[in-house]
């Protein structure tokens, strides 16, 4: 009888302990679930909340060997110094992004979220810096602009023009005229050599294109002569509407065997001796570029011609004008005869006095 009483007493105690354990475990699971839910909500909120950046934005530089942890530290330092949870690292690892980061400089713009920034880094959408190669620049001026750009790596400072062309795969080619003027965009760390290679390829493509569309009666034997003439047109006028007419004058002079008599070629031939004033003695001093003393085109281009000048060189305007002189307003007066031209010259001189 006593053994039956003990057995009946122990059973309710164990059942009560089991229920308490289940309740405790359920409560613990609820607390853990709520905590995890809160952490997950915080994690999602972090990924999709715009970073705190100034209106002008920030630049994040991802260097070689830099991982997500280092990027996260840099991001905290610049945008969210109070944040401690490594959510960016967690997101990168969960989504297989940690080993797909690309080196470069990245813009953090107002309104950008951490998720968007990481996607930008993985896609390699780095900041693109501009450099405008100006129509009419000489190759020397282009080299100066490259040397002065803070985001271009200098590899050609001590290299002469001939060696540069050899490194670009054009040994023996004079560099003048061969680099297409336009605005180029490139990432930080681009070398001066790679920039020149790109501009050279652009000019070669454009020259090939315009040569296939040339007028059949132009007095030019090959694309290089078109490049030379285009460079002269580029330096003679900055008025877009005049380029084809200037080209027409030069084309007719070439056909007739007349001297081109263009001042920009003389100035180019003078080089560093030119002090800003072209004198009568300069026009009579012979150089390979003096088109007052030598017939035909000069031996090389004298500047970097733009697309409009290239087009004008191979498709000059028809007409019968053989002369032109500045009109004092940035344009030119075109004449058919030397007598008309001399009158226009006198008017120009009177006006400039």
What pLDDT digit, counting tens, does each position of 169-199 carry? 999 999 999 999 999 999 999 999 999 999 9
pLDDT category at 1 given cuts 50, 70, 90 is very low
pTM of the model: 0.83
Helix, strand, coil abundance in the chain, percent, nearest 5: 50, 10, 40
Rounded to 5°, the CA angle 317-294-342 comes to: 60
Model confidence band, residue 257 (pLDDT cutoffs 50, 70, 90):
very high
For 202-217, the pLDDT digits (tens) are 999 999 999 999 999 9
Q: Mean of the pLDDT values across residues 263-279?
A: 93
Residue-wise pLDDT for 23-35, tens only, equals 666 667 666 665 6
Most confident of 7-11, 195-199, 278-282, 346-350: 195-199
Q: If residue 245 lies in a helix (H) or strand (E), which one and from where to where?
A: helix 243-256
Cα distance between residue 219 and residue 229, in whole Å: 11
pLDDT at 12: 65
Q: How confident is the model over 313-337, as a mean pLDDT?
A: 93
| CA proximity to 334, closest of 344, 324, 342 | 324
Average pLDDT over residues 106-117: 92
**What does the pLDDT read at residue 314?**
98
Q: Is 204 in a helix, a strand, or coil?
A: helix
Nearest to 181 by CA among 194, 197, 199, 193: 199
- Segment 327-346 shows an average pLDDT of 91
What whole-number distance in Å separates Cα of residue 82 and Cα of residue 61?
Answer: 21
b/e map of 247-268 (b: 16 or more CB within 10 Å)? bbbbbbbbeeeeebebbbbbbb
In this prediction, residue 189 carries a pLDDT of: 94
């Amino acid at each position: 009888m006593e053994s039956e009483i003990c057995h009946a007493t122990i059973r309710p105690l164990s059942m009560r302990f089991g229920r308490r354990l289940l309740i405790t475990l359920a409560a613990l699971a609820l607390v853990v679930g709520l905590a995890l839910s809160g952490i997950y909500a915080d994690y999602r909120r972090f990924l999709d909340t715009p970073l705190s950046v100034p209106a002008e934005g920030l630049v994040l530089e991802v260097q070689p060997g830099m991982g997500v942890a280092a990027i996260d530290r840099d991001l905290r330092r610049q945008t969210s110094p109070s944040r401690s949870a490594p959510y960016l690292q967690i997101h990168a690892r969960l989504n297989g992004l940690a080993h797909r980061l690309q080196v470069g400089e990245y813009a953090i713009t107002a309104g950008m979220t951490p998720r968007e920034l990481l996607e930008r880094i993985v896609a390699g959408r780095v900041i693109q810096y501009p450099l405008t190669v100006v129509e009419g620049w000489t190759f020397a001026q282009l080299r100066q602009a490259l040397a002065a750009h803070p985001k271009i790596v200098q590899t050609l400072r001590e290299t002469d023009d001939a060696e540069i062309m050899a490194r670009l795969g054009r040994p023996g080619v004079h560099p003048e005229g061969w680099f297409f003027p336009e605005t180029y965009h490139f990432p930080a760390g681009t070398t001066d050599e790679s920039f020149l290679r790109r501009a050279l390829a652009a000019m070669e493509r454009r020259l090939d294109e315009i040569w296939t569309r040339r007028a059949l009666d132009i007095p030019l034997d090959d694309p290089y002569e078109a490049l030379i003439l285009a460079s002269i047109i580029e330096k003679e006028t900055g008025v877009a509407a005049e380029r084809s007419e200037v080209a027409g004058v030069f084309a007719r002079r070439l056909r007739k065997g007349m001297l081109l008599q263009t001042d920009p070629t003389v100035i180019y031939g003078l080089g560093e001796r030119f002090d800003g004033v072209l004198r009568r003695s300069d026009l009579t001093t012979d150089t390979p570029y003096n088109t007052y003393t030598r017939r035909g085109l000069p031996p090389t281009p004298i500047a970097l011609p733009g697309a409009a000048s290239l087009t004008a060189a191979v498709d000059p305007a028809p007409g019968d004008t053989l002369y032109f002189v500045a009109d004092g307003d940035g344009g030119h007066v075109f004449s058919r005869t030397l007598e008309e031209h001399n009158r226009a010259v006198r008017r120009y001189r009177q006006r400039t006095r």
